[in-house]
Structure 1
Amino acid sequence: MGLVNDATNHDATDRGAITPGALPSYATGPDPGGPEATGPGPTGTESTHPRLPDANPAAAALSGLLRLLAEGAPAERLTTAAARARDGGACAAEAALVEEAARAALGIRRTLDQHRRREAELTALFDTAGDLAALRDLDSVLRAIVRRARTLLGTDVAYLTLNDAAVGDTFMRVTDGSVSAAFQQLRLGMGEGLGGLVAQTARPYASSDYRADGRFRHTIAIDRGVGEEGIRGILGVPLRVGTRVIGVLYAADRAVRAFAPDAVALLSSLADHAAVAIDGARLLEETRAALVDLNEANETVRAHSEAMRLATETHDRLTELVLRGGEIEDLAREVAALLGGGIVIHDVDGTELARVASEPIAPPVRGAAESRSGGRAVPVDGTWVWAVLAGPELLGSIALTGRGPLTGRAPLTDSERRLFERAGLVTALLLLLRRSIAEAEDRVRGELLGDLLAPEDGDRARDAGSLTLRARRLGLDLARPHSVLVLHCEEAVRARLAAETARRARSLRGLSGVYEGRVVLVVPAVEPGDRPGPVARSLAAELGRVLETPVTVGAAGPADRPNGLSAAHSEALRCVEALHTLNRTGHGAGLPDLGFLGVLLGDRADVCGYVERVLGPVIAYDDRRGTELVRTLDAYYAHGGSLSQAKDALHVHVNTVVQRLERIRRLLGDDWNTPGSALELQLALRLHGLSAR
């Protein structure tokens, strides 16, 4: 019945633990009897038992004791039996015998009272167990426990703390009779105060006056809460489930009170019932939660099963479409029918590949970027977008319209979103198939490219007619002038560079491929005299942005016949190497764009063109105005940039030299006299002088 543990731990005994040694060998309850009375008996009437004859007073007294025990007479009447025997004439020995019998009768009476009291307590415990068993809510169980503890022990306050394994302390959970907010929010560390010691040692502890009891570890927070509540006497017993302590049950008075061993045993028994009820309520709540989770899981499984069925049907339909050689337009129609919206498919360049049941939309660049980074279809302004990927490579995008909040139709469910993404995967497959076909064509183009760029030797002359015929079959007109561009990037992305260049070659009606380890592009010139520098710069910027790595492009040409493409290729290759040497990796240019370096590196030095690009504005000004800006600039550089020496050579005032140089600055720009520009100008002046002669 929850009796206290054996007190072999001296520390626990010193600090107030209740031990069997504290239990007396007899009942400690108050004497139920009172002063002896000859009046009414236990039934409220005058006793009708005849007095024994005076000839045998001791026997009469003993017989009277038995009658009083049987009647449940008060204890006071038992204590007067010896006196009545002496009054009746009993001798000293007989009186002593009667007195000893009276003491035995009192012991029997106390034992019977204790049994009755224990019977009442057990009845109350059984009632408590029944009440707790009928409760299903944990909070209700806890409130019923502390309320019954307060009632059974007749204390001012009862409360219960539960252990927090995560924090390592025990906290106030439920109180009954408490009026202090600070007390109701107490947390006790293991070993702190009376309750912390009970939670730590799993033994009952009691204190008749806790605030004055120095045997326990007092803390400021605990003493403040206990003081605010006004508690003096405290009894605490552990709540155990098996060998595990889950909390502490307390009974406390606001007056000094020494808790008897019976009180300890009673509260311990109640704690044992309470622990079982708490664990049962916890298990019941966990079971309820598990049932809720199970129902949700069943619903999730049902929805997932339906989604899987739909996904399987969709997969079969889309797979059949691919196997029968369907096109992008066929795929768009299938997906639009499945999802009840419009479909628009773009390639990586933003070109519309297919559109079904939708108005034209701009390429969803932002949505494709978000989808690519997040790996999911994303809604953008009422349109769902999925980035079509092949590994890390972006192939294009697929957009679903008419399924957003602005359209009046329900947005995509999770299963429909997955179907849309699956359609994007099939789109990627179709685009890859198209690329494979294009790459097969590119191999044929690559063979033609190799023959066009290969230099002539003595043993093999170039057959221009055959090359022109082969090119015409691929849609390339070699009768027009063509420029050659050599592209360079990191080795890791060269294959992607070749694929991107091939796409641009088709749109430009040109030819591309890999030649001698470099990606080469041959494109027709728009006009016969067009220089390829702008095309090289545009291509370097665009491809660098798409591939997210620097792409350097060197250009040459245009060549007006097939036999000139080999020389143009060599010049474009030298241009790429010059760009790297000049730390202009990631840029595009032709040799003429490199200034005097282009003149030095080019096979066909365009001296007049170079002079025109560098010195043209000054020469034109002299021609229109009849000034001598070119002669002044030549004199200025010839005399090491000295204004005084230049004015002597020109036979003019120094202010005139300054004014002419200011005019040159306006014509050529503020950086005309930087070291690099000065070198270009001096070379152009020399070449201009040679051409004038």
Structure 2
Amino acid sequence: MDVAGDILEQLLAGAGREELEATLARAEREVEPRELARVRDLAARVRDQMERQRSREAELSGLYETARDLTAIRDLDEILAAIVRRARQLLGADMTYLSLNDEADGASYMKVTDGALTPEFRTLRLPFGTGLLGLVAQAGAPYFTEDYQADERFVHREYIDTAVDGEQIRAILGVPLEVEGTVIGALLAVHRRVRPFPADEVTLLTSFAAHAAVALENARLFQQARDAAAAADAASAELRARAAATERAAHAHDLLTDVLLHRGGVVEVGQVLAEVLGGHVEAYDEDDRQLAGQPAAPPDGLADAVARARTSGRCTRTDAGVWVAAATAGDEHLATLVLRTDGPMGLPERRTLERAALVTAMVLLFGRSEAEAESRVRGELVADLLAARSQDPERLRVRARQQGADVDGDLAVAVARHASERAGQRVVGSLARELRGLGTVHEGQVVLVARAEPVALGEQLRDRLGGATVGVSHVEGGLTGVAAAWREARRTLGVLYRLGRTGEVGDPAALGLARLLLGDNGPAEVEEFVDRTIGPLLRYDAERDTRLVETLAVWLDASGGLRDTAERLHVHPNTVTQRLDRVGRLLGPDWRQGARRLDVHLAVQTHRLRDLM
């Protein structure tokens, strides 16, 4: 019986231990014991060798498949996670982790783990030469230990040992990650029990680390290539955007030049900006009155933005994201451009906005020159009207119409003072054009003639002049009566100043007693004074058959005594109080104060005297 041959055939056929033992048992009767022992030993050796070969083939096959899979991954973080996951599977480890070297810091820091129990371990950072990981990262050679905590070959640090204890780590195997001879990190596999690492495991992890390092480098290069491509695309896009912005800026320059050549205004400048830069454009004068754009309130922080723009000579941005540019001439602030846009505002767009502000300043200066020329012509007509020269009324009307003024109807004159003659001329000229009237600075005072109710005209002039005191008067007799109305309005203005009533708008009737004392007045002026002062009370009594004027007269005679007034009128004091409250609502809250009380008292007495006549 050929026992050795039978055993070999069974081994080649993949027979198990039981089948081999059965064959050897049958051969005991035919083969010498020594020969049988030799065959049994040989069979065991061949079987172990074949099992190791199959295990090696399985490991190599797994290693090949893992390397192939790694080379297909392009994302760096994804490939790092795949490396530690596959290494753990290949070695059957409890945990694997990978570190990367920081040469500048002289340490290797934990990048990714698989199977870690504590968050502290995932952020561990080991100086070169410290612990097993630091030694592998520094030396670039494999190291392993059956029991790390008891192994004195390694430099132990308290924080490292604490992290190792937290993970319950005992056996550690670490191999370097190398790219072109340079150690870039380390790959480690650990077990939470004491155990040795056979040479084939060390070889397997070392081979895997070599493949992993190549895959890491490929992923890094791929990422660099992708970043370079993205940067190239971004640079190309930026160049295209700059070219487009430059083209828009050139187009805007042409359009703004066209506005100047065709004598356009601020509205046209705003339209060009809105077309070129997008969004909404508004323009405001130096007093924040809107000159162009859709009606809107000035943006928050406009004053600060204008101050920065004037200081820097550049457009600026408010906290709310609104762009602001100042149109200036020398030190004079002429207007403000406001751009509300969500579009890009790179350097070309900002320069376009600043160029538009410059064009706006030029447009306003041109307009001012024209307005000043026009104001001189209008001023000549106003001067002729105020001089009361003997002129043909029809000729005066024709001259006014030639200057765009509407003087057919009820006219009023308003007179005010202003610190700057030039600024006053600009304001009154602008307002005169809006009202289709006439305006100029005459004998140091601003004079406005227009179709309007006198007080309303004065209030408009006061607001435009920033709260000035204004005297007004109604014009009697058309253009030929302007001179007399002007003198009365000027006299009213002087009285307002002497009475300390600055910032008010007043006509002759509003002067009260002062008018009666300072002017040539007859019954008509007295009647107007009474009506202007207590007219609301007279009309209230007439319409409702009440006794407000009588109550007021008795109260004044009683020097304001409430009880004396009630006794003289034979009414309860509460009734007097209620009537006086009604007087206050009709005459205004200040009727008991100072000069106003004197006017009221005089008007009541005049009314009583008139009733006796």
Pick the TM interval, shorter chain.
0.5 to 0.7
Q: 2:219 aligns with which of 281, 303, 306?
A: 281
Alignment of 1:98-137 (within 5 A): 137=75
8 Å CA contact 1:240–1:272 kept in 2: the answer is yes
> SS at 1:523's partner residue?
strand
Distance in 1 of aligned mates of 2:505 and 2:530: 18
1:618 alignment counterpart: 537
1:187 alignment counterpart: 123
8 Å CA contact 1:158–1:252 kept in 2: the answer is yes
1:533 alignment counterpart: 455
Change (3 A) 1:164 1:661: farther
Does residue 653 (structure 1) correspond to residue 579 (structure 2)? The answer is: no
2:311 alignment counterpart: none
Q: 1:474 aligns with which of 365, 386, 403?
A: 403
Change (3 A) 1:659 1:433: same
2:32 alignment counterpart: none
- State the TM-score, normalized to the length of structure 2: 0.57
Change (3 A) 1:388 1:133: closer
Alignment of 1:624-663 (within 5 A): 629-647=548-566, 650=568, 652-655=569-572, 659=575, 662-663=578-579
1:445 alignment counterpart: 375
Q: 1:684 aligns with which of 588, 592, 600?
A: 600
Change (3 A) 1:190 1:485: farther
Distance in 2 of aligned mates of 1:517 and 1:280: 87
Distance in 2 of aligned mates of 1:192 and 1:440: 83
**Aligned-pair distance for 1:295?**
2.1
Does residue 486 (structure 1) correspond to residue 447 (structure 2)? The answer is: no
1:558 is aligned with what amino acid?
H
Gaps in structure 1 of 5+ consecutive residues = 1-36, 46-123, 353-362, 377-384, 400-411, 545-549
Change (3 A) 1:626 1:232: closer
Q: What is the identity percentage for the equivalent residue pairs of Structure 1 and Structure 2?
A: 27
Does residue 319 (structure 1) correspond to residue 319 (structure 2)? The answer is: no
Gaps in structure 2 of 5+ consecutive residues = 1-34, 44-61, 307-314, 317-321
1:636 is aligned with what amino acid?
W
**Aligned-pair distance for 1:506?**
0.5
Distance in 2 of aligned mates of 1:261 and 1:514: 109
2:167 alignment counterpart: 226
Change (3 A) 1:153 1:690: closer
2:134 alignment counterpart: 198
Distance in 2 of aligned mates of 1:487 and 1:167: 78
Query: Rg larger in 1 or in 2?
Result: 1
Q: 1:558 aligns with which of 464, 474, 484?
A: 474
**Aligned-pair distance for 1:515?**
6.4
1:524 is aligned with what amino acid?
A
Change (3 A) 1:513 1:165: farther
**Aligned-pair distance for 1:674?**
6.1
Change (3 A) 1:553 1:135: same
2:472 is aligned with what amino acid?
A
8 Å CA contact 1:442–1:512 kept in 2: the answer is no
8 Å CA contact 1:142–1:174 kept in 2: the answer is yes
> SS at 1:669's partner residue?
helix
Q: 1:160 aligns with which of 80, 95, 98?
A: 98
2:295 alignment counterpart: 365
Q: 2:448 aligns with which of 512, 515, 522?
A: 522
8 Å CA contact 1:446–1:514 kept in 2: the answer is no
- Aligned pair count? 508
2:80 alignment counterpart: 142
> SS at 1:250's partner residue?
strand
2:123 is aligned with what amino acid?
R
Change (3 A) 1:181 1:591: farther
Distance in 1 of aligned mates of 2:253 and 2:441: 38
**Aligned-pair distance for 1:575?**
7.5
Change (3 A) 1:481 1:577: same
**Aligned-pair distance for 1:288?**
1.3
Q: 1:609 aligns with which of 528, 538, 554?
A: 528
**Aligned-pair distance for 1:289?**
1.4
1:216 is aligned with what amino acid?
R
> SS at 2:193's partner residue?
coil
Per-residue displacement from partner, 1:217-244 (whole Å, max 9, x unpaired)?
Answer: 24899458614xxx32235577689999
8 Å CA contact 1:599–1:607 kept in 2: the answer is no
8 Å CA contact 1:485–1:556 kept in 2: the answer is yes
8 Å CA contact 1:672–1:678 kept in 2: the answer is no
Change (3 A) 1:296 1:484: same
**Aligned-pair distance for 1:160?**
0.7
Change (3 A) 1:684 1:569: closer
1:503 is aligned with what amino acid?
S
8 Å CA contact 2:175–2:188 kept in 1: the answer is yes
Change (3 A) 1:472 1:690: same
- State the TM-score, normalized to the length of structure 1: 0.52
Distance in 2 of aligned mates of 1:243 and 1:665: 103
1:504 is aligned with what amino acid?
L
Bigger shift: residues 204-213 or 296-305:
204-213
2:124 is aligned with what amino acid?
L
Change (3 A) 1:199 1:553: farther
Distance in 2 of aligned mates of 1:464 and 1:423: 54
Higher relative helix content: 2
Aligned Cα root-mean-square deviation (Å): 6.7
Distance in 2 of aligned mates of 1:261 and 1:666: 113
8 Å CA contact 2:137–2:185 kept in 1: the answer is no
8 Å CA contact 2:415–2:489 kept in 1: the answer is yes
Distance in 1 of aligned mates of 2:282 and 2:532: 46
Alignment of 1:660-679 (within 5 A): 662-669=578-585, 676-677=592-593
